[in-house]
Amino acid sequence: MERVSARLDDLPIRDDLRGLTPYGAPQAPLPVALNVNENTHPVPKEVADDILDSVALALRDVNRYPDREFTQLREGFAEYLGHGLTGDRIWAANGSNEVLQHLLQAFAGPGRTVFGFGPTYSMYPLLTRGTGGTWVAGERGHDFTVDAESAAAQVADVRPDVVMLCSPNNPTGTPMPIDVIEAVYDSTDGIVIVDEAYFEFAPRDERSALTLLPDRERLVVSRTMSKAFAFAGARVGYLAADPAVIDALRLVRLPYHLSALTQAAASAALRHAPTMLAAVDDIIAQRDRISATLTALGYTPYESWTNFVLFAGVDDPAATWQALYDRGVLVRDVGLPRSLRVTAGTEEETSAFLDALASIDSAS
């Protein structure tokens, strides 16, 4: 007997989820994948060996639940971040998306509003709606920047329960100045989340929002190991905040949400932080090389403090995307007019992208 599969609309799904589409980025087995802002540099062998040893040791007790408070890992993150942070001010989860989800479960939800300056990370509205909240997008300037006066006025007008500040911003790479973060915090009574997923790629002399944490109990700074640490497949994100915020997150997290294997792998990687971060300088060099070459080719790259470059001046983004795809290079169409985004990969991957793009231009 032939079975007919139900459609999503046939199910009693929540009304506020009807018509939505999940997060998705094209996945294809191409030689050069530069579309999801991964750190394409492999984990160094000595670090990988230590991670394997640590995971193997954790496997001996895998029949037992892991440390629910992931104490050692939190202390490792506190030491890595510095700024006088201690383990009781640190939280972690399975990727920074779960960290943000915990925050929205605790401080947003039904009847509450989450605000961010669009365009920004596409998961913010998805996480907001998934937790039952309402997403409101503010405005950026024509170059995707936000100034303190405008930012504060927009936040004060909306009066959100949570503000999401992507610093630097994804998908544009735009810096988020410290004075903007201060102005936003002072203009709201809600939680202010500064997502510093790409901060390790910012200029070395720039201040992190971590420096603003003292005496700001509603400020949260989120980070990830996916980018600078080349740990995307391990799914480890973390944040720093007032201990009271950490207590709130305990109310919504699932018990034992970080496996013993994840804790072991992340702790081992943190022990090798200088080695793991050694590739960052090369990625920055490739990013800047991309920007310079794009300019020479007649495109308009936006300023980027991340490991990717958004560039405008693309007459037909879909056609250019497909032409690069046909040449074995995968980039990202983020839906901005006449624009595409490319991750800064290794020197070889960067050359492959630039050569492919130049060949498209010469053929047209």
Burial of residue 109 (CB within 10 Å: 0-12, 13-18, 19+) is: middle
Do 340 and 192 lie in a common domain?
Answer: no
The answer on 165 and 61 residing in a single domain is yes
Share of the chain above pLDDT 70, in %: 98
User: Would you call 83 exposed, middle or buried from its count of C-beta atoms within 10 A (0-12, 13-18, 19+)?
Assistant: middle
Residue 116 and residue 199 in contact, taking contact as beta carbons nearer than 8 Å: no
Domain-embedded: residue 7: no
Report yes or no on 213 lying in a domain.
yes
d(CA 33, CA 352): 10
pLDDT tens per residue across span 220-232: 999 999 999 999 9
- Output b/e per residue, 276-305; b: 16+ Cβ within 10 A: beebbeebbebbebbbebbeebebebbebb
Lowest mean pLDDT among 28-37, 280-289, 291-300, 304-313: 28-37
Which region among 21-25, 80-84, 207-211 has the lowest average model confidence (pLDDT)? 21-25
**Shared-domain flag, residues 331 and 296:** yes
What is the model's pLDDT at position 160?
98
Which pLDDT does position 49 carry in this prediction? 98
In the chain, the largest separation of any two C-alpha atoms, in whole Å, equals 68
Strand order in the sheet with 339-343: 300-301, 308-312, 339-343
Is 29 a member of any domain? Answer: yes
Q: What's the average model confidence in pLDDT over 242-255?
A: 98
What is the predicted pLDDT for the residue at 259? 98
pLDDT mean over 336-342? 98
**Quick one: 170 and 306 in the same domain?**
no
Which of 247, 273, 299 is the last residue in one of the domains?
273
Contact 123, 148 (CB under 8 A): no
Regarding whether 303 and 189 lie in a shared domain, the answer is no
State residue 238 phi and psi, 5-degree precision.
-155, 170
Looking at the fold, whether 318 and 331 belong to one and the same domain comes out as: yes
Q: What is the residue-wise DSSP string for 170-192?
A: TTT-----HHHHHHHHHT-SSEE
Q: Which of 239, 273, 307 is the C-terminal boundary of a domain? A: 273
pLDDT at residue 2, as a whole number: 64
Q: Please give the full DSSP string across 296-360, using - where no structure is assigned.
A: HTT-EEPP-SSSEEEEE--S-HHHHHHHHHHTTEE-B--S-TTEEEEE---HHHHHHHHHHHHHH
For residues 184 and 163, is the Cβ–Cβ distance under 8 A?
Answer: yes
Whether residue 1 is predicted with pLDDT greater than 70 in this model: the reply is no
pLDDT tens digits for range 107-151:
999 999 999 999 999 999 999 999 999 999 999 999 999 999 999
Enumerate residues 6+ apart whose C-beta is below 8 A from 31. Answer: 328, 329, 352
Q: Are 166 and 137 in contact, with CB atoms under 8 Å apart?
A: no
Residues 216 and 282 in one domain: no
The answer to whether position 11 is within a domain reads no
pTM tops 0.85: yes
CATH of residue 293: 3.90.1150.10
Instruction: Please report whether residue 14 resides in a domain.
Output: no
φ, ψ of residue 239 in degrees (nearest 5): -145, 165
**Do 80 and 205 fall within a single domain?**
yes
Of the residues 232, 254, 273, the one at which a domain ends: 273
> In the chain, how many domains are there?
2
So what's the pLDDT on residue 234?
A: 96
pLDDT at 362: 63
Per the structure, the complete domain to which residue 313 belongs is given by: 24-43+278-363
Residues 38 and 94 in one domain: no
Same domain flag for 226 and 296: no
- CA 44 centroid distance within chain: 23
Greater pLDDT, 209 or 7 = 209
In a shared domain, residues 170 and 71: yes
Average pLDDT across the chain, whole number: 95
Residue 241 lies in a domain: yes
Residue 16 falls inside a structural domain: no
Contact 41, 283 (CB under 8 A): yes
pLDDT one-digit tens code per residue, 166-197: 999 999 999 999 999 999 999 999 999 999 99
| Choice between 364 and 31, residue whose per-residue pLDDT is larger | 31
Task: Assess if residue 10 is contained within a domain.
Answer: no
Do 313 and 298 meet the contact criterion of CB atoms below 8 Å apart?
yes
CB contact at 8 A, 151 and 180 = yes
Residue with tokens 């629910």: 68
pLDDT at 22 (0 to 100)? 82
Contact in structure between 91 and 239 (CB atoms under 8 Å): yes
Beta-sheet strands, E only, within 65-133: 90-93, 113-118
